[in-house]
Amino acid sequence: MTTRGGMGGRSSIERNGLTLYAQLDKEIRSRIFSGEWPVGSMIPPEPRLCEMFQVSRITVRQALSRLAAEGFIVREQGRGTFVRDRNLVADARSVRSFTDEVIALGMTPSNRLLGVREVRPRSDVRDALGLGPGDRVLRIVRLRLGDEKPIGLQTAALVSSRVPGLSKDDLESGSLYETLRTKFGIRPSEAVETFTVGGISEKDAKLLKVASSTPAFFVERVTSDNRGPFEHVSSVMRGDRYRIRLAIRNLNH
């Protein structure tokens, strides 16, 4: 618990069950979420935070390090610490929908459906999904948003025979994976993702509201359930709003 003191006031952190840096982390997040410390603003320097919350420099640094790792703030050498536009952090080891990832970050997800059509897949998509020459896919193009701001542009190819009757209304009503579970009994169990980096094309840049050639992640994903691959997704994700975090452990000990 804290006593609010504003940007220039003083607060104190009570000694409860949480570690002090976890409490300070929570307090700073609260001020960011409430808009008291808006995106782009500089938060008080470390000595001022120590004074405001009556904690040590080590506690402040631990809290700021965690917030920086999760994309809430950015620390610029010689300038200070600034509130950053919240990024979508992708955990490549978790088979989750975009909707779930955005909700977990505290943002409101939404989609803009740009097109849906049954087509013959490209050869690389056909091979990835294990399809024959005559098989077709349902191609779905969506602009993905968090808090009404574009994050990525995704083109999904679903094996048509696995999703008969999938409608436009289904695609606009929320999480695609939730619809696949409830309507078709498809439960994603495994995904393989390939990431590359490049510049956003002029056409895609207009939809994503950035300048052309802005750096982006280009992601290819093949998702499977117990019957095999059912989805191929090509994504262009804004580099300033999407990050990847992996845990790497030393196995040689």
- The dihedral sign for the CA sequence 123, 129, 132, 134: negative
pLDDT at residue number 93: 45
pLDDT at residue number 63: 87
pLDDT at residue number 186: 95
- The dihedral sign for the CA sequence 143, 145, 149, 150: negative
- How would you write the pLDDT of the chain (253 residues) with one tens digit per residue? 344 444 444 455 555 456 788 889 889 988 988 889 988 899 999 999 999 999 998 889 888 887 877 678 888 777 889 988 665 555 544 556 666 666 766 678 788 999 999 999 998 898 889 888 899 999 999 998 888 889 999 999 999 999 999 988 888 766 788 899 999 999 988 888 888 999 999 999 999 999 999 999 999 999 998 888 999 999 999 988 776 666 555 555 4
| Residue 131 and residue 62 in one domain | no
| Residue 44 and residue 103 in one domain | no
The answer to the question of residue 61 being in a domain is: yes
- Distance of alpha carbon 141 from alpha carbon 162, whole angstroms: 18
Amino acid at 86: R
* CB crowding 42-69: b at 16 or more within 10 Å, else e: ebbeeeebbebbebeeebbebbbebbee
In which residue are the tokens 């990024």 written? 87
pLDDT at residue number 172: 76
| 184 closest CA partner among 234, 227, 246, 134 | 227
- The dihedral sign for the CA sequence 173, 174, 176, 182: negative
CATH label of the domain that carries residue 51: 1.10.10.10
| Residue 107 and residue 123 in one domain | yes
CA 104 to centroid of chain Cα atoms: 9
CATH label of the domain that carries residue 114: 3.40.1410.10
| Residue 103 and residue 175 in one domain | yes
**pTM for this one?**
0.61
| Residue 96 and residue 194 in one domain | yes
Alpha-helix residue ranges (DSSP H) falling in the chain: 20-34, 46-53, 57-69, 98-104, 123-129, 168-172, 176-184, 202-208
The answer to the question of residue 10 being in a domain is: no
- Among 83, 118, 137, the domain-final residue is 83
The answer to the question of residue 134 being in a domain is: yes
pLDDT at residue number 140: 95
The answer to the question of residue 12 being in a domain is: no
pLDDT at residue number 147: 84
Q: What is the DSSP string of 106-149?
A: T--EEEEEEEEEEEPPPHHHHHHHT--TT--EEEEEEEEEETTE
Residue 240 domain boundaries: 88-244
| Residue 42 and residue 98 in one domain | no
